[in-house]
């Protein structure tokens, strides 16, 4: 019999996705290749689940179930300390197990945020310039109409005679 992996006892809230949607769960222990969880209803043995905790996404297979508890095994090694302390993953993964990671959940660097803010500032500045130009054109048009209204009415009345 193979020796059991060293486990770290934890009590961490998480979300799990099964075939019937998202559910609340609690991670009760972590090891290099798996985790023990507790949920209102345990998914059946053999089911693949997606576990999300903060920025961490774990895709794993349910290996055993007992009442409301179940154990999962992950193909990849789990960053136990990072998950337990709710820190960001070491690297920004573009994909996890072939599934795209939600881009909004990934951490952004300070340079990326600064660039994004600069682009937003340029867009706002352009929008205000267009708005000011349109307002100036409307005011100029109203002034020209008012200035030409009296002479054009005289021309019109002279032509009617």
pLDDT digits (tens, 9 = 90+) for 30-43: 999 999 999 999 99
pLDDT at 42: 93
Residues 9 and 54: beta-carbon distance below 8 Å: no
| CA distance readout (Å), 139 to 23, 73, 82, 85, 127 | 59, 70, 61, 61, 19
For residue 121, pLDDT beyond 90: yes
Q: Is the pLDDT of residue 104 over 80?
A: no
pLDDT of residue 114: 86
pLDDT of 28 higher than 70 = yes
- In this prediction, residue 29 has a pLDDT band, given cuts at 50, 70 and 90, of very high
pLDDT band at 64 (very low <50, low <70, confident <90, very high): very high
Read off the pTM. Answer: 0.53
Q: Exposed/middle/buried for 83, CB within 10 Å: 0-12, 13-18, 19+?
A: buried
Superfamily of domain 8-107: predicted glycosyltransferase like domains (2.40.10.220)
How do the domains of the chain map onto residue ranges? 8-107, 108-161
The sign of the torsion formed by the CA atoms of 29, 35, 36, 37 equals: positive
Averaged pLDDT of the chain: 86
What per-residue string of b and e applies to 47-82 under the rule 16 or more CB within 10 Å gives b?
Answer: eebbbbbebbbbbbbbeebeeeebbbebeeebbbeb
């Amino acid at each position: 019999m193979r020796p059991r992996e060293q486990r770290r006892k934890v009590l961490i809230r998480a979300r799990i996705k099964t075939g019937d949607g998202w559910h609340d769960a609690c991670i009760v222990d972590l090891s290099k290749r798996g985790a023990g969880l507790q949920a209102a209803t345990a998914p059946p043995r053999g089911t693949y689940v997606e576990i999300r905790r903060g920025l961490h996404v774990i895709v794993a297979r349910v290996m055993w179930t007992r009442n409301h508890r179940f154990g999962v095994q992950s193909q990849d090694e789990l960053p136990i300390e990072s998950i337990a302390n709710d820190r960001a993953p070491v690297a920004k993964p573009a994909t996890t197990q072939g599934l795209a990671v939600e881009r909004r959940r990934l951490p952004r660097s300070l340079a990326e945020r600064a660039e994004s803010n600069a682009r937003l500032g340029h867009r706002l500045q352009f929008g205000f310039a267009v708005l000011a130009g349109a307002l100036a054109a409307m005011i100029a048009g109203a002034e020209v109409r008012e200035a030409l209204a009296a002479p054009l009415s005289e021309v019109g009345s002279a032509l009617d005679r």
